[in-house]
């Protein structure tokens, strides 16, 4: 596990900070005359397409102000593209193209402001913040690529359906019906096999599965432990175009959560091995980068219960040839 040089870590942190502060998305602005009135539009790449967006009447003060913000963002985006290019040339890991395009469409739709990226998609974002080149998720899973994006959704605020949003990344995306054909889909798949799953924290055992997200014309699968995993998420940047702002779980919580769910996979040995491998990689990185965070996450989870929390963690550690003492700073 090779370290990422500190100057590159600093550059990445600057990129993530800029993205979190951004109030607009970059766009090429142009005017269109309609019945003698000038209107402002923007064109911007989103996923695999280019979108035309309506901004408003050119003489509207609010539109003038927004145009100024977009022009400022265009200048900052050009600087960020240079940062992204520098980081990628230095082989700082970045998510695969298909995942990047999916995240770009979600960002454009405003889904990533409140949602938290989890699973393998989040794992791919940890190398730069931790300062270590983690084993590739594709190698860990022994797949050609980590073809899943899982999103923890807490609100239902989008103005478009989930399928409409995802089709800008790949027009073949479709919602996959669940066991109840009348339920809204929580699982979306493209023709190439890329999967997007919507998840939500389980609040009570009687939660409907999936929980309906009517504005997205989608559902979200309620999961135990998810609320603990996504508490106090950290900002991160996806190295694509001028960067995409995402929120991901704290890496220590991600590692501990993987230890827990690895023991709940039943007969799915492939996912179990991937959970354990990702947990082991993050534990190794965190022992160097932030050992106290790892210790705190383990102790916090263990305090929540023996059967559902501490016992599966210890079992997973045993499979990795570790003990709880390895996680205590």
Strand bridging mode 211-213 / 218-223: antiparallel
Q: What pLDDT is stored for residue 146 in this prediction?
A: 44
Q: Is it the case that residue 139 has pLDDT exceeding 80?
A: no
Q: How is residue 242 written in tokens? A: 């001028």
Q: What pLDDT is stored for residue 114 in this prediction?
A: 84
Q: Is it the case that residue 229 has pLDDT exceeding 70?
A: yes
Query: Distance between CA 159 and CA 320 in Å, rounded?
Result: 45
Mean pLDDT of 179-188: 88
Dihedral sign for Cα 248, 253, 256, 259, please.
negative
pTM of the model: 0.90
Mean pLDDT of 260-270: 86
Q: What percent of the chain has pLDDT over 90?
A: 72
Mean pLDDT of 172-200: 91
The β-bridge partners of 33 are 38
Query: Distance between CA 244 and CA 169 in Å, rounded?
Result: 14
Confidence band of 145 (pLDDT split at 50, 70, 90): very low
Q: Is it the case that residue 73 has pLDDT exceeding 90?
A: yes
Confidence band of 158 (pLDDT split at 50, 70, 90): low
Query: Picking from 158-162, 216-220, 246-250, 256-260, which range would have the lowest pLDDT averaged per residue?
Result: 158-162
Q: How many CA atoms lie within 13 A of 256 on its CB side?
A: 31
Q: In the 8-state DSSP scheme, what is residue 264?
A: T
Q: What's the CA angle centered on 170, arms 254 and 21, to 5 degrees?
A: 50
Query: Distance between CA 89 and CA 318 in Å, rounded?
Result: 39
How do residues 283-329 score in pLDDT, each as one tens digit? 999 999 999 999 999 999 999 999 999 999 999 999 999 999 888 76
Q: How many CB atoms lie within 10 A of CB 68?
A: 11
Q: How many CB atoms lie within 10 A of CB 96?
A: 18
Q: Is it the case that residue 207 has pLDDT exceeding 90?
A: no
Mean pLDDT of 131-160: 66
Confidence band of 155 (pLDDT split at 50, 70, 90): low
Say if residues 286 and 296 touch (Cβ distance below 8 Å). Answer: no
Q: Is it the case that residue 65 has pLDDT exceeding 70?
A: yes
- Straight-line distance from the first to the last Cα atom of the chain, in angstroms, rounded to the nearest whole number: 20
Q: Which residues of the chain form beta strands (DSSP E)?
A: 28-34, 37-46, 49-57, 116-118, 148-152, 174-176, 187-189, 195-201, 211-213, 218-223, 234-238, 244-248
Query: Distance between CA 46 and CA 157 in Å, rounded?
Result: 19
Q: Is it the case that residue 140 has pLDDT exceeding 60?
A: no
The alpha-helical segments, DSSP class H, found in 53-92 are 61-89
Confidence band of 251 (pLDDT split at 50, 70, 90): very high
Select the more confidently predicted residue: 247 or 266: 247
Q: What pLDDT is stored for residue 141 in this prediction?
A: 43
Q: Is it the case that residue 144 has pLDDT exceeding 80?
A: no
Confidence band of 147 (pLDDT split at 50, 70, 90): low
Q: How is residue 253 written in tokens? A: 């919580």
Say if residues 94 and 238 touch (Cβ distance below 8 Å). Answer: yes
Mean pLDDT of 190-213: 88
Of 188, 262, 192, the residue nearest 225 (C-alpha): 262
Q: Is it the case that residue 148 has pLDDT exceeding 80?
A: no
Contacts of residue 328, defined as CB under 8 A and 6 or more positions apart, other chains included, come to: 295, 298, 299
Residue 209: phi and psi, rounded to 5, are -125, 110
Q: What pLDDT is stored for residue 157 in this prediction?
A: 62
Q: Is it the case that residue 94 has pLDDT exceeding 50?
A: yes
Q: Quick one: angle between helices 251-262 and 291-302, nearest 10?
A: 40
């Amino acid at each position: 596990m090779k370290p990422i040089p500190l100057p590159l870590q600093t550059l990445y942190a600057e990129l993530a900070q800029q993205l979190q502060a951004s109030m607009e998305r970059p766009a090429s602005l142009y005017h269109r005359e309609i019945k003698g009135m000038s209107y402002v539009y923007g064109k911007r790449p989103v996923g695999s397409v280019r979108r035309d967006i309506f901004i408003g009447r050119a003489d509207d003060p609010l539109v003038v102000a927004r145009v100024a913000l977009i022009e400022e963002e265009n200048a900052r985006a050009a600087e960020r593209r240079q940062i992204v290019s520098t980081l990628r040339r230095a082989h700082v890991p970045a998510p695969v193209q298909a995942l990047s395009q999916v995240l770009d469409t979600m960002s454009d739709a405003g889904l990533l402001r409140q949602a938290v990226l989890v699973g393998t998609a989040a794992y791919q974002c940890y190398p730069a913040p931790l300062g270590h080149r983690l084993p590739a998720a594709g190698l860990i899973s022994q797949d050609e690529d980590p073809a899943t994006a899982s999103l923890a959704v807490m609100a239902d605020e989008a103005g478009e359906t989930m399928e409409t949003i995802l089709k800008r990344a790949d027009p073949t995306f479709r919602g996959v019906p669940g066991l109840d054909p009348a339920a809204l889909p929580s699982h979306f798949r493209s023709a190439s096999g890329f999967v997007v799953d919507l998840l939500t924290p389980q609040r009570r055992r009687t939660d409907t599965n999936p929980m309906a997200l009517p504005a997205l014309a989608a559902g979200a699968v309620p999961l135990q432990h998810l609320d603990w995993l996504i508490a106090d998420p950290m900002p991160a940047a996806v190295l694509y175009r001028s960067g995409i702002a995402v929120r991901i779980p704290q890496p220590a919580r991600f590692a501990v959560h993987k230890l827990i769910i690895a023991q709940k996979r039943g007969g799915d040995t492939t996912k179990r091995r991937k959970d354990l491998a990702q947990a082991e990689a993050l534990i190794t990185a965190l022992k160097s980068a932030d050992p106290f965070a790892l210790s705190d996450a383990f102790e916090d989870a263990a305090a929540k219960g023996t059967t559902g929390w501490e016992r599966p963690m210890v079992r997973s550690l045993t499979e990795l040839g570790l003990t709880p003492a390895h996680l205590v700073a």
